Amino acid sequence: MKLGKGKIVDFEGSWMSGLATLVIDDEERGIVRIPCDNTPTARALESAFGGVIGNGHTVKVEAIKGKEIFYYMDELGLVLGGFIPVEVAPPEVFELYEKQKGVAQ
């Protein structure tokens, strides 16, 4: 598992489709668009940052825009596996990220 680190730029999706995209300005790769499951990701963002879920099952992008996260992809490297806000990440996450930084997966 390779960690990425960056700031959230956008969250795009439709609750009816179940699909979404988390757009991140990655420190190493620039803007990346990461496919994810809409509802679980929206709930995780709400849990991590608060004030994310609005009326009618909408996501308030302004509540997450600019938030810095560590993230990783699933075991196949296809969709978002998970994330943790940088502000609450334990030292081990920073160490792993620094160790992996610049190393291709």
Tell whether 58 is covered by a domain. Answer: yes
87 within some domain: yes
Structural domain includes residue 30: yes
Alpha-carbon span 64 to 87, nearest angstrom: 13
SS3 14: strand
Query: What digits encode the pLDDT tens for the residues 17-60?
Result: 889 999 999 999 999 999 999 999 999 999 999 999 998 878 99
SS3 45: helix
**Domain hosting residue 19, numbered range:** 4-100
Domain total of the chain: 1
> What CATH number does the domain containing 47 carry?
2.40.50
Write the pLDDT tens digit of every residue in 62-74: 999 999 999 999 9
What is the tens place of the pLDDT at every residue in 7-16?
999 999 876 7
